[in-house]
Structure 1
Amino acid sequence: MPSPTASTRRLAAVALALGLAASAALAQRARLVVWMVGDDKTPRVMQPAVDAYRARHPDVDIEVRDVPWADAMTKYSAALASRRGPDLVTGSTSYAIALGAKGALVDLAEAAPDLAAELQRHANPGALQAIRRADGRLYGAPFDMHVQLQYYRSDLLDKAPADWDGFIVTARALRARGHGIAQQWGNTSWLGFYPYLRQAGGAVYDASCRRAVIDSPEAVQALAYYARLYRELQAPTDGWPDADGGLESGAYGLMQSGTWLLSRMDMVHKGLAGKWAAAPLPAGPTGRRTAVLGGTVLAVMHFSPRRELALDFMRTVYSPEVSRRMAEAALAYGGMWLPSGRQDQIAHLSLPFRDALLAQLADAEGPPPCPAWMRQDYLVTRAVQRVVLAGGDPRTELGHAAAVMNRALEAQQ
């Protein structure tokens, strides 16, 4: 076989050099990894932000992975222990408090004051309050949110009840006609009770998070009222009753559930089309309609070697156009993603009963932003269930819960 010519050898050498250069360039490309809690559809929400970021940073690759809720805290804690894993994560508001306290997350107030200032201007106040520590540290940004609303059969009711007394009157009238009431999200747990607690002027902890005040007269009044929904009005006590299905069948004429139903009610319950409406929660004794605010935060892991790129990705997420496109991406597949960090963009979305949603978001709060809450929430749930399910006395049960909570708090001080 003839030996290769000098020209051929030169071409081969050039090709090899180019190949090595290309491989080196690929190896040197920066890569951001984002872990998002949710199902396999969840990463679709982030795609508009990925596209916008890549347009500005064509040399940065971004990988978005879904993490099931059941595995999230375990995976995040393992990543923290090994100091390897994602650059950015989403998780519940309690994750921001718990992981931030462990030094796992970047403090946005210190690392990105411009972003923190933007959040102060545009984020839902309740969502921001739920993750900002008393010392001003902000270990994440509000990402998405849901609140409770009243859903009702508009062919059975002219309007939703406006206050606690009106709710009882309306529910009695519905029961007399063969239609019950139901609470879906947080039924018979602290989460279901929390709006009533806040509407009555009560709280779980004092402002310093050093003392539980869940046994206050306002809290007792709220739990006594909450128990009436089950004892007197016979609301179902299942953990997650089929309230929206019952609304369609007529088993329920009035229910409370989350805002995710706004985008899926007509899709899932075609028999309800044109026969349902949504409204804010009834006002309590304080005149407030406070709803519990659930949702997630977006945060940068403290060990990320690409911290500045990750922070710049967050700036992309919270730009108005990108936030709006993310919300629209969720609606396109029948989901619901409400940008809690850019609440101003919700007014631009095509949603049924958007005015009711905006009114409720104006009076919504997250869980207590106290480090002890994740370890003590079960005590409030237990008190609620002893009253609702076992006929316990609200004052006695909340007193027991407060005593246990305060002993633990005092031991930590």
Structure 2
Amino acid sequence: MTKRVLATISVVSLSALALTGCGADDSGSEASKEVTVWMYPVIPDEERSAEFWSGVEKDFEAAHKGIDLTIELQPWDNRDEKIATAIASGTGPDLVLLGADQALNYVEIGGLKPVTDDIDDIDNFLASPLDAVTFDGDVYGVPIYQTATTVAYNKALFEAAGVDELPATWSEVLAAAPMLAEQGVAIFDYSGSPELTLNLSFYPLLWQAGGSVFTEDGTDIAFDGKEGVAALQFLLDLQAVGGLPTDAATKNNAVEGGPLALGSAAMGSVLTQPQVAQMQAALGEDAVVVGAPLKGREQVAYGTPGVLSLTTVSKDDAAALTAANFIASPAVAHELNIQAGNYPVRKDVEEPADDETTLAFVDALSFASPGEIFPNARQVMAVLAPHIQAALQGSVSAEQALADAAAEARTILGK
């Protein structure tokens, strides 16, 4: 596994608890123990999500009668602020669902405990999800799923515009954009709302251009280089020929009720499988083609593991890790993948299905990047997003937008 070295600067001061042994204990000494998990909408349908996690609680408590498990369903909105505040005040959950970049941030501020020696059947886990949350040689979360994103097309719109082959590269997208614009269709559904994570909008384009947000050692900003300018200029060039939705600078990435479902945009480049299912429901299954991730200089997509991390306010590490290992167990993980449209992190868990759409997403995992796993990555993202929006609104050039964002971001890094 790759060893990541943690920076020494903390952005929040937390009182870390002593790192005691936190292995799961099935000895029967678990009486009157309580474990709280903060879970997020990995299952998009609220009713199905509540039903699934309620069932997990019941199954776990039936198998571990001394532990009361509460899985609290939290919203994505203001997630980091709520987690940091809860941990800092000592009122946070025992376990919290995190992505890889988030996990590093909370390790940085003393909010998580390592679980390196406490993951059941660790040899059955794939290396990549474990590596993504391994910092200074310790693992800081039990992986329970991994996500994948890729491209999906409304093939009827391309056919109507006279585009014979679905575009798979930047140059092909740019070439086809004017043909679809003549039909009143934006070729590329881009979502520029600053509230949306850039992992699902600009960052995949940056990676496809061969760029990155940070330098390799994480000590400086890199998104203002030629690769970043090329990625943002790609969007501006598409916009100039009618290739983006008219509200691209402000819209979110919802499929239902959005351009992809309404037939006013022809392709999405950073879609999850549940979003593709929404396209299929709106347009008809035969109208939607799922392809490989888009290629610029590189072929890259976003995909990250979801891990249950042990917080420093955990009241009983052994009970919490018992719950985490239960949720990560093959039977529960497989059903979660089916319900959420996610993918296995274990060798002993089957793919959620074998249909063409699922297999296309499984193939996309080989192109997946877990994001920018560096200290302050989320803070830098928050700085960058409004500058990209400003460029899409015509206020500044691509080069100036990224230069302004880089100057602001470097103050976060102490530059």
**Do Structure 1 and Structure 2 share a fold, with TM-score over 0.5?**
yes
Match of 2:141 in 1: 140
2:286 counterpart SS class: coil
Spell out, residue by residue over 1:107-140, the C-alpha distance to the aligned partner (whole angstroms, 9 max, x if none).
122x42666654443xxx3x5555433x233322
Gaps in structure 2 of 5+ consecutive residues: 1-27, 159-163
Equivalent pair of 2:143/2:308 in contact (CA under 8 Å): yes
Spell out, residue by residue over 1:79-108, the C-alpha distance to the aligned partner (whole angstroms, 9 max, x if none).
423434532222444432232222222212
Match of 1:212 in 2: 221
One-letter amino acid of the structure 1 residue matched with residue 149 of structure 2 = Q
Match of 1:263 in 2: 277
2:176 counterpart SS class: helix
Residue 165 (1) aligns with residue 178 (2): no
Relative to 1, partners in 2 of residues 1:291 and 1:280: Cα closer, same or farther, differing over 3 Å?
A: same
Match of 2:150 in 1: 149
The equivalences for 1:358-369 within 5 A come to 358-369=362-373
Match of 1:194 in 2: 203
Equivalent pair of 2:144/2:333 in contact (CA under 8 Å): no
Equivalent pair of 1:179/1:253 in contact (CA under 8 Å): yes
Relative to 1, partners in 2 of residues 1:303 and 1:225: Cα closer, same or farther, differing over 3 Å?
A: same
Residue 252 (1) aligns with residue 265 (2): yes
Offset, 1:66? 1.3
One-letter amino acid of the structure 1 residue matched with residue 213 of structure 2 = V
Instruction: Pick from 296, 310, 315 the counterpart of residue 284 of structure 1.
Output: 296
Match of 1:32 in 2: 35
Normalised by the length of structure 2, the TM-score is 0.77
2:156 counterpart SS class: coil
Match of 1:106 in 2: 113
Residue 177 (1) aligns with residue 183 (2): yes
Equivalent pair of 1:339/1:345 in contact (CA under 8 Å): no
Aligned CA-pair RMSD: 3.3
Relative to 1, partners in 2 of residues 1:230 and 1:241: Cα closer, same or farther, differing over 3 Å?
A: farther
Offset, 1:410? 3.3
Residue 222 (1) aligns with residue 231 (2): yes
One-letter amino acid of the structure 2 residue matched with residue 103 of structure 1 = G
Spell out, residue by residue over 1:286-316, the C-alpha distance to the aligned partner (whole angstroms, 9 max, x if none).
3x2x122367431122232321122122222
One-letter amino acid of the structure 2 residue matched with residue 201 of structure 1 = G
Residue 323 (1) aligns with residue 333 (2): yes
Match of 1:86 in 2: 93
Equivalent pair of 1:147/1:292 in contact (CA under 8 Å): yes
Offset, 1:204? 0.8
Match of 1:297 in 2: 307
Normalised by the length of structure 1, the TM-score is 0.77
Equivalent pair of 2:188/2:244 in contact (CA under 8 Å): yes
Structure-2 separation of matches of 1:130 and 1:27:
31
Equivalent pair of 2:142/2:325 in contact (CA under 8 Å): no
Match of 1:6 in 2: none
Structure-1 separation of matches of 2:130 and 2:383:
25
One-letter amino acid of the structure 2 residue matched with residue 106 of structure 1 = K
Offset, 1:47? 4.9
One-letter amino acid of the structure 2 residue matched with residue 112 of structure 1 = D
Relative to 1, partners in 2 of residues 1:360 and 1:32: Cα closer, same or farther, differing over 3 Å?
A: same
1:68 counterpart SS class: coil
One-letter amino acid of the structure 1 residue matched with residue 72 of structure 2 = R
Equivalent pair of 1:220/1:394 in contact (CA under 8 Å): yes
Q: Percent identity?
A: 22
Structure-2 separation of matches of 1:180 and 1:167:
11
Structure-1 separation of matches of 2:393 and 2:348:
41
Structure-2 separation of matches of 1:380 and 1:128:
28
Structure-1 separation of matches of 2:305 and 2:251:
19
Gaps in structure 1 of 5+ consecutive residues: 1-24, 331-335
Count of aligned pairs: 371
Match of 1:338 in 2: 342
Equivalent pair of 1:262/1:352 in contact (CA under 8 Å): no
Residue 310 (1) aligns with residue 312 (2): no
Q: Which has the larger radius of gyration?
A: 1
Structure-2 separation of matches of 1:394 and 1:75:
33
Structure-1 separation of matches of 2:187 and 2:54:
39
Relative to 1, partners in 2 of residues 1:27 and 1:211: Cα closer, same or farther, differing over 3 Å?
A: closer
Structure-1 separation of matches of 2:254 and 2:316:
45
Structure-2 separation of matches of 1:229 and 1:47:
45
1:80 counterpart SS class: helix
One-letter amino acid of the structure 1 residue matched with residue 329 of structure 2 = S
1:65 counterpart SS class: strand
Relative to 1, partners in 2 of residues 1:291 and 1:96: Cα closer, same or farther, differing over 3 Å?
A: same
1:215 counterpart SS class: coil
Relative to 1, partners in 2 of residues 1:34 and 1:113: Cα closer, same or farther, differing over 3 Å?
A: closer
